[in-house]
Amino acid sequence: MTWKNHGELFVRYKRNPILTMGDWPYKANSVFNPAAAIVDGKTLLLVRVEDHRGFSHFTVARSNNGIDGWEIDTEPTFTPDPVNYPEEIYGIEDPRITYIDELEKWAVAYTAFSDSGPLPALALTEDFRKFDRVGPALPPDNKDAAIFPARFNGKWALIHRPAPTVHSKKANIWISFSTDMKSWGWHEVLLYAREGGWWDAHKIGLSPQPIRTPEGWLIMYHGVRQTTPKISYRLGLALLDLKDPTKVLRRSEGWVFGPHETYERSGDVNDVVFPCGWVVVNDEIRIYYGGADTSVSLASAKMDDIMRYIRECPEEQCPDEYCRFFEGHKGRPADPKKG
């Protein structure tokens, strides 16, 4: 396929940012990286709030139209509990929300910041007032996790992003499986960070939770390339097979959204757009994102335009070193998820 420069697919709300510390009912340093869901007909954001120690917690904001008129909980909604969950000693960060029909509950995947580094953790809630922790899902260093809303061959699936090791400068997106949401295994790479000059060549990680579409699971991911002392977080899209989420059907070549505006380029961390939540409202998809780790903003696109774009994206290709590894073999090893 000949590469096409589609530019940015998402249009910013003209009155961004939609939430700042000036809107908050109590003192804190910054509000950003919200999870998002439609709950009881309202848009609910589970917003990451950083205090003046540098530790984070979550606070709920609700809106009838998902744009303005936000009703914000007057106190933190979901706070770290390091006494009972020591992995949360330095706070909780970057939630993603998934509604699970089988449980009739919302699953919140979040980053617990432990004494050994960040790790994915899970909690369940029915009302976003009371939260039942499942506990840590995977060891550090790991983050950017979200759970799928349904099982695959009897197993839950979790997307996450281990940190680079001394043996690799790249951070790839992984997928793991579990029968009980507590013990996770069957780990494998889902998306590789690309090589060379690509916008997503240094590290990639999941952004919002997967969305089911008739053509596959739509995911948005962030990519970071560092060619100078400056880094920039941009966003791309991929489509996974509905029955087998380890199979990547399509992946965008160019980024579809990146930092341009002042509130995205200047803040606690410059040049960052970081959505942890998106929702589908009528015929459009809305992303709620942190701008420069300082405020919350909104952008949207027509669902038809997104699906038309992803259909035109090329099929995902495995990286050269992975393909070389399996040269001379009869395909990839047997899939343990099916055994």
Q: Report the C-alpha gap between 117 and 133 in whole angstroms.
A: 19
Residue-wise pLDDT for 19-44, tens only, equals 999 999 999 999 999 999 999 999 99
Q: What amino acid occupies position 260?
A: H
The CA angle 46-101-242, to the nearest 5 degrees, is 95
CATH code of the domain containing 300: 2.115.10.20
Q: Into how many domains does the chain fold?
A: 1
Q: Report the C-alpha gap between 78 and 59 in whole angstroms.
A: 6
Give percent of the chain with pLDDT exceeding 70.
Answer: 90
- On whether residue 1 sits in a domain, the answer given is no
Quick one: how far is CA 120 from the chain centroid?
12
3-class DSSP assignment, residue 72: strand
With cut-offs at 50, 70 and 90, classify the pLDDT of residue 274.
very high
- What local confidence, expressed as pLDDT, does residue 328 receive? 46
- On whether residue 282 sits in a domain, the answer given is yes
Q: Report the C-alpha gap between 151 and 257 in whole angstroms.
A: 31
- On whether residue 4 sits in a domain, the answer given is no
Q: What amino acid occupies position 338?
A: K
- On whether residue 205 sits in a domain, the answer given is yes
The predicted model scores a pTM of 0.92
Range of the domain at 42: 17-327
- On whether residue 144 sits in a domain, the answer given is yes
Residue-wise pLDDT for 210-264, tens only, equals 999 999 999 999 999 876 667 889 999 999 999 999 999 999 999 999 999 999 9
To the nearest 10°, the Cα dihedral for 110, 113, 119, 124?
-30
Residue-wise pLDDT for 120-148, tens only, equals 999 999 999 999 999 999 999 999 999 99
Q: Report the C-alpha gap between 138 and 121 in whole angstroms.
A: 7
Region of residue 23 (left: phi > 0; alpha: psi -120 to 50; beta: else):
alpha
- On whether residue 225 sits in a domain, the answer given is yes
- On whether residue 72 sits in a domain, the answer given is yes
- On whether residue 12 sits in a domain, the answer given is no
